[in-house]
Amino acid sequence: MTEDEIKAVLFEEITAVAPDADPAAVPEEADIRDALDLDSMDMLNVVAALHDRLGVEIPEADAPAFFTIAGGVQYLASRLH
């Protein structure tokens, strides 16, 4: 998957958890928990959905990578390649 494809998947899963959120409008280095009002349950649901959809192991210690769009894309790219 290209980084753009990974980003599209990430956006889809964020939007599935928070339908009113627009992840594309958030700066890639911004903390999406603040920018999109995502709580710990939301973040867990996003990571769980990515795990199920992409088959990527995401240890809990690595979950903070997904606090930003850039961090999440980079993490998934490194695991998928």
Partner 1 sequence: MALFKMPSLGADMEAGTLVEWLVGEGETVRRGDIIAVVETQKGAIEIEVFKNGTVSQLLLQPGETVPVGTPMAEIDGGAAGEPAPAAPAPERAARLSAKPAEPERPVATAPPPPRAKAGERVPASPAARRLAAEKGVNLAALKGSGPGGAIVSADVLAAEQPAKLGAAPSRRGLDMDEMRKAIAAAMARSKREIPHYYLQHSIDLEAATTWLAEANAERTPPERLLMAALFVKATALALKQYPEFNGHFVDGRMERSESVHLGVAVAIRGGGLIAPAIHDADTLDVGSLMAALKDVTARMRAGRVRSSELTDPTATFSSLGDRGVEGLWGVIYPPQVALVGFGKVLSRPAVINDQVVPRPQVQVSLSGDHRANDGHRGALLLNAIDKLLQSPEAL
Q: Which residues bind partner 1 (CB under 8 A)?
A: 18-20, 33-34, 37, 39-41, 44-45, 47-48, 50-52, 57-60, 63
Q: How far apart are CA 13 and CA 7, in angstroms?
A: 10
Cβ–Cβ < 8 Å for 36, 26: yes
Nearer to partner 1, 63 or 77 (CB): 63
Least Å distance, CB 75 to partner 1, is: 13
Could you give the CA distance from residue 39 to residue 42 in angstroms, rounded to a whole number? 5
Q: Decide: 26 and 50 in contact? Cβ < 8 Å.
A: no
Q: Are 77 and 6 in contact (CB under 8 A)?
A: yes
- We find the least distance from the C-beta atom of residue 27 to partner 1, in angstroms, to be 18
Nearer to partner 1, 2 or 41 (CB): 41
* Residue 19 or 81 having the CB closest to partner 1: 19
Find the shortest distance in angstroms from Cβ 66 to partner 1.
Answer: 10
